[in-house]
């Protein structure tokens, strides 16, 4: 690669990277109003959307359509949590949208894989699934780097706390969480995962960047 071409390639890559970060949200909300409303969220989810507790999810960089969908689920009882259900009850649709676009705009904090000894198993399941029991690969929906799919309200997983992901997979496995709706996609997949699979996957997605 000559210097001229290398420079052009680097510039093009930078432009694409920046445009990806600044892409317009699929949710119509006010970032500034969301930032103000998020003051009550900081105690659990952190001042920049990155929780200090591994049991509470990072919201920074999470796609706005998914956040809105989950807030509505907490409000209407489709999803239940003692803290979040109570908080969501006080939110209007406009406030949900504002919060969603605000958290979506924040940079995701990079984290390391939770347990390096589980790397091979976690990566294999995430990228290739399990042919023996026909478990789908996670990247098919969540993407190779765990960025999710905003248009389909599929969440980003990259950098998410492993302990939180373990709980969500177990909740789906036990049908305590049913926000996958009529498709039952997450419940059906989680039902095929054993304890070690869940630990490996959760560890792996924490380190996705």
For residue 10, being part of any structural domain is answered with: no
Tell me the per-residue pLDDT of 144-188, one tens digit each, with 9 for 90 and over: 999 999 999 999 999 999 999 999 999 999 999 999 999 999 999
What mean pLDDT is predicted for residues 118-145? Answer: 96
The confidence band for 20, taking pLDDT boundaries of 50, 70 and 90, is very low
Q: Which two tokens stand for residue 40?
A: 């009550």
Tell me the per-residue pLDDT of 29-83, one tens digit each, with 9 for 90 and over: 999 999 999 999 999 999 999 999 999 999 999 999 999 999 999 999 999 999 9
Residue 11 pLDDT > 90 = no
Q: Indicate the residue among 81, 105, 129 that finishes a domain.
A: 105
Q: Which domain holds residue 65?
A: 28-105
Q: Indicate the residue among 54, 82, 105 that finishes a domain.
A: 105
Residue 23 pLDDT > 90 = no
For residue 22, being part of any structural domain is answered with: no
Q: Which residue has the higher pLDDT, 18 or 2?
A: 2
CATH number at residue 41: 1.10.760.10
Confidence (pLDDT) at 21: 40
Half-sphere exposure of 209 (CA within 13 A, CB side): 6
Confidence (pLDDT) at 18: 35
Q: Indicate the residue among 51, 86, 105 that finishes a domain.
A: 105
Residues 132 and 194 in one domain: yes
Residues 99 and 55 in one domain: yes
For residue 6, being part of any structural domain is answered with: no
Q: Which residue has the higher pLDDT, 19 or 80?
A: 80
Confidence (pLDDT) at 121: 97
- End-to-end Cα distance, the chain: 27
Confidence (pLDDT) at 22: 42
| Total domains, the chain | 2
Residue 139 pLDDT > 70 = yes
Confidence (pLDDT) at 24: 87
- DSSP letters, 61-88, are T--HHHHHHHHHHHHHTSS--HHHHHHH
Residue 1 pLDDT > 90 = no
Please write down the long-range contacts of 143-146, taking CB distance under 8 Å and 24 or more positions apart.
145/208, 145/209, 146/205, 146/208
For residue 11, being part of any structural domain is answered with: no
């Amino acid at each position: 690669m000559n210097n001229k071409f290398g420079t052009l390639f680097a510039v093009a890559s930078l432009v694409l990277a920046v445009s990806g970060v600044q892409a317009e949200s699929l949710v119509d909300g006010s970032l500034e109003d969301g930032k103000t409303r998020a003051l009550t969220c900081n105690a659990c989810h952190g001042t920049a959307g990155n929780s200090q507790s591994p049991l509470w999810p990072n919201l920074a960089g999470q796609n706005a359509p998914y956040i809105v969908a989950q807030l509505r689920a907490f409000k209407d009882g489709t999803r239940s949590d003692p803290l979040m259900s109570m908080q969501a009850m006080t939110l209007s649709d406009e406030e949900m949208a504002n919060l969603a676009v605000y958290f979506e705009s924040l940079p995701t904090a990079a984290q390391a894989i939770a347990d390096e000894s589980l790397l091979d198993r976690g990566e294999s399941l995430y990228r290739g699934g399990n042919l023996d029991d026909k478990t789908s690969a996670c990247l098919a929906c969540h993407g190779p780097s765990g960025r999710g799919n905003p248009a389909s309200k599929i969440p980003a997983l990259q950098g998410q706390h492993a302990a939180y992901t373990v709980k969500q997979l177990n909740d789906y496995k036990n049908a305590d969480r049913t926000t996958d709706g009529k498709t039952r996609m997450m419940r059906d997949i989680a039902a095929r995962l054993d304890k070690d699979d869940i630990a490996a996957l959760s560890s792996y997605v924490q380190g996705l960047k």
